[in-house]
Amino acid sequence: MNSPPVNPTYSPAPAGYKLALVQGAFLSECSFAVYLCTLAAFLTFSCVHCVVALIRHGDRLPIERCWANDHVWTCNLNIEERSTSENASSVGVPRLHRKHYLNGEETFPGGCMAGQLTKYGYDQHLVNGANLKSTYPSAFPASYSASSAYVRSTDIPRTLQSAQALLRGIAPWSPAANNVTQFVDVYTVDASKEWLYPNPGNCAKLGQYETEAKASAAYQSWVQSVLTPLVQAMSPFYGLPLASMPSPINIFDCLGAHVCHKFPLPGGMPVALYDRMVAAMEWEYNYIYNFPDRAEYGRLAMGKLYYQIWMNFIGALHEPTNTEPQFKLFSAHDTSVMPFLNAIGAWDGKWAPYAALVQMELWTSENGGQPLVRWVYNRQEMTLPGCSSTFCSFNSFAALVQPIILKDMETACQATQALAGQYARWQAPNLGVYTNDGW
């Protein structure tokens, strides 16, 4: 793994402005642990609603079995838990249960769960949590308590563990006082109702659009001219005929995990073929995310999350003394990062790696001026669409996100044609997009 980058220097806020709300972190794949921005020391912080973070889980194993005679994966990240009917905020815990995956009985050679967070992935979020604490110190109380954070995660081990790591980075573990264990509530929903990534199972019209996109002439032409020849070129390295090859997203995921961990690719496959698959998946997801148009897909796919963020902004501006937790965390996936950014035309079209990071900041004026919004993606300040600089007027930001905000998901998501049973995985024969899976 590469070393963490040096913190960049961002543009200072306009004179008279102070930070009111810091929003959003997407942490992701392969390349490095993330360091949050270092704000200029002279800036005055006013944590109204403080910090909201949206992360992608850290480094992980592939989701599905990759190929015969795969590398043996070793996992040393344990899950320790207990079940209880109690609803206390703190209690002594005399016993915990540790989960073990039977060596040789799992999807992958070794004792690891498919898609399991690695120790490196966990450490990525320890670093990010520590940097959140040091960058925005007024967002976190000196003494961390269970009421200090609101935590929302998809109900998948790697996102739950990533949230735990980030919180631990903010507030490192210390010996329990009087043998009392502190509890932090983590909120989640069933996968069928998840809205932290595009979910056709929760939005029938979204499934309809994806089906129509894959039936379009442009998509079918791409499958025939780009995707099928690429999978065909890879098949000899897998030792499989084209008809037996895994789906392209499975190939992409497996190759990417092996490249990140410096494990050999199957049959001596050149990395150039993997690079071509990366470009192919970026094209495919970009096409799906913009069908029938960017705003419509983005509203159905990520509009509920935008609504949550919007309400946090409004709460910070109009209810500066509210008692909501000062830190709110959403732990999710790369297929959360990319459509979230794309919904407002801010995605660069590149796959969000482990360590991708989005920050959204709300700045208030000390002299009554209009609030400003700034976004930073992968340590680069962004000039959002419709904004004249990296510090965007709140009115311009509101005009940008209002078409994406989704309040009534049930009504908006009604499909205009019956596609029962088609919303789990969208596939042409052995070639498909998994937009309903949290990668």
Of 86-100, 103-117, 301-315, the one with minimum mean pLDDT is 86-100
Specify whether 136 is located in the same domain as 39.
yes
pLDDT digits (tens, 9 = 90+) for 45-69: 333 344 677 888 888 999 988 988 8
Report the alpha-carbon distance of residue 60 to residue 394 in Å, rounded. 37
> Residue 220: pLDDT band by 50, 70, 90 thresholds?
very high
More confident residue, 118 or 183: 118
Instruction: Give me the amino acid identity at 331.
Output: S
Specify whether 193 is located in the same domain as 219.
no
Specify whether 151 is located in the same domain as 32.
yes
Around 397, how many Cα atoms within 13 Å sit in the side-chain half-sphere?
23
Specify whether 159 is located in the same domain as 218.
no
Specify whether 395 is located in the same domain as 255.
no
Specify whether 193 is located in the same domain as 224.
no
Structural domain of residue 21, as residue ranges?
17-84+95-200+294-407
pTM of the predicted protein model? 0.85
Instruction: State the pLDDT at residue 179.
Output: 67
More confident residue, 284 or 9: 284
Cβ neighbours of residue 40 closer than 8 Å, sequence gap 6 or more: 10, 12, 13
Residue 213 lies in a domain: yes
Of 21-25, 129-133, 263-267, 280-284, the one with minimum mean pLDDT is 21-25
Specify whether 196 is located in the same domain as 312.
yes
Of 220-234, 269-283, 319-333, 341-355, the one with minimum mean pLDDT is 319-333
Specify whether 50 is located in the same domain as 149.
yes
Predicted confidence (pLDDT) at residue 33 exceeds the cutoff of 50: no
Predicted confidence (pLDDT) at residue 428 exceeds the cutoff of 60: no
Please compute the mean of the pLDDT values over residues 91-99 and round it to a whole number: 79
CATH of the domain at 144: 3.40.50.1240
Instruction: State the pLDDT at residue 21.
Output: 43
> Residue 191: pLDDT band by 50, 70, 90 thresholds?
very high
Specify whether 335 is located in the same domain as 217.
no
Q: What DSSP element (H or E) covers 347? A: none
Instruction: State the pLDDT at residue 88.
Output: 65
Residue 185 lies in a domain: yes
Residue 8 lies in a domain: no
More confident residue, 41 or 403: 403
Report the alpha-carbon distance of residue 106 to residue 255 in Å, rounded. 19
Please compute the mean of the pLDDT values over residues 33-42 and round it to a whole number: 31
Residue 90 lies in a domain: no
Specify whether 67 is located in the same domain as 42.
yes
How many structural domains comprise the chain? 2
Main-chain dihedrals φ then ψ at residue 331, nearest 5 degrees: -110, 120
- How many CB atoms within 10 Å of residue 114? 15
**CB-based burial label for 364 (10 Å; 0-12, 13-18, 19+):** buried
More confident residue, 61 or 431: 61
